[in-house]
Amino acid sequence: MARPSSSSAGAPESRAASIAPKAKRALYRWLPPDRIAIAVRTAIAAMVALAIGAALPDGLSDYAYAAPLGAFITVGTTFFTIARAALQQALGLVLGAALGMAMLWIDIPALAKIGIIGAVGVVLQGAATLGIGASVVPVVAVLVILFGGADPDGYATGYVGQFTLGLVVGVLVNALARPPLWDREAHRRINSAVLELAERFEELADTLRGEWPPEREDWAGWGAELEGWVDALADDVREARESRRLNPRAKFRPHDVERDAEAVAALRAVVHRAIDVLDALSSAAWAEPVAVSIDEAERQVAADAIDALAAHLRAWEELDGIEQASDASAKAIDALYEEAVTRARPESGLAAVVFALRAIRSRIDREAASAASQVQSP
């Protein structure tokens, strides 16, 4: 009796095994844990706000529907942004109610009132203090005019009070329900970016050691991608800094965000000089953007120097063996310099490469030394 083929028997299992990780990644992309946590906090805040609003006396409970509306907008990625948005919304509510009351007192046609409200709303959007709160000013003003009826004061007080109650409840729930901190995540992404940049350097070195001009052309356009990395990291650090502001958890989890900001600045400088290297080498390969010459022997020495810088980057990320990596990088770059000056040719592109590599090495040394001193300090 023939044995079933192992490949055919295992095909369903292998397909299932390959589909599961993809499904997990897709689910994580559409429903990340952070978004779920925000949704849960928002739902809790809305229910609590409605319960409190409905229990208020003296007719205020008639406007309890506005309390969860306030809770719904206390959503954000950091506690500081949530608190700031809530304060801005509260200011906007008060200004909108005052504007609506003023329009009721002024005896002018309804069209003129709407025009004034719209104009004031647009003007207030330029006020940095109000921020997103400026958008609710004309809305609340129109609501007071339309639904205030015989008791516009009571409507304005009830609506604004309940909405503000929802804002306060939302802020308190976010303060108590483990407000997120993004500092460690930002730090991890910076470390990952340093390692990825080291890998790019190693790929470039391998390209220089291969056939020339190389068939692979994508490395010549890495510049925009690398700059995008740095911009994204800068955004991560800004969000990490915001996540610690007014966050009670920050007192129990110290982290130096400014150290991360300095690391991103160092990476930006490294990327800037790396682009100079890419431009020089692509010019040697395809005479774009300008025609320069780098022969085979020079490419081999340049590859060694770039490889040494990759090792230097890894030592910076690990904060281990920095001095040895720096010395090895200096020797490799000096060897490239010697190659350039002993075979001086007007069309050579090595001078630009040597300058950029030395600048990269110097920047890594300064940042690594600063990071090491921070680790050693009490």
Res 1: pLDDT = 39
- Tell me which DSSP letter residue 254 carries: -
| Confidence bin at 248 (pLDDT 50/70/90) | confident
Q: What is the pTM of this model?
A: 0.74
Q: For residue 180, what are its two tokens?
A: 């997120």
Question: For residues 276, 281, 285 and 289, what is the CA-based torsion angle, rounded to 10 degrees?
Answer: 10
**Domain 183-376, classified CATH 3.40.50, yes or no:** no
Q: How many Å apart are CA 213 and CA 282, to the nearest integer?
A: 9
88 and 133 Cβ atoms separated by less than 8 Å: yes
Res 2: pLDDT = 43
**Alpha-helical regions (H) of 31-78:** 33-54, 66-72
Average pLDDT along the chain: 87
Q: Which residues contact 318 (CB under 8 A, 6 or more apart)?
A: none
pLDDT tens digit sequence for 158-217: 999 999 999 999 999 988 877 888 899 999 999 999 999 999 999 999 999 999 999 999
Res 195: pLDDT = 96
Res 80: pLDDT = 86
Nearest to 139 by CA among 111, 157, 117, 124: 117
Q: Exposure of 37 by Cβ count < 10 A (0-12 exposed, 13-18 middle, 19+ buried)?
A: middle
Domain spans, the chain: 33-176, 183-376
| Confidence bin at 4 (pLDDT 50/70/90) | very low
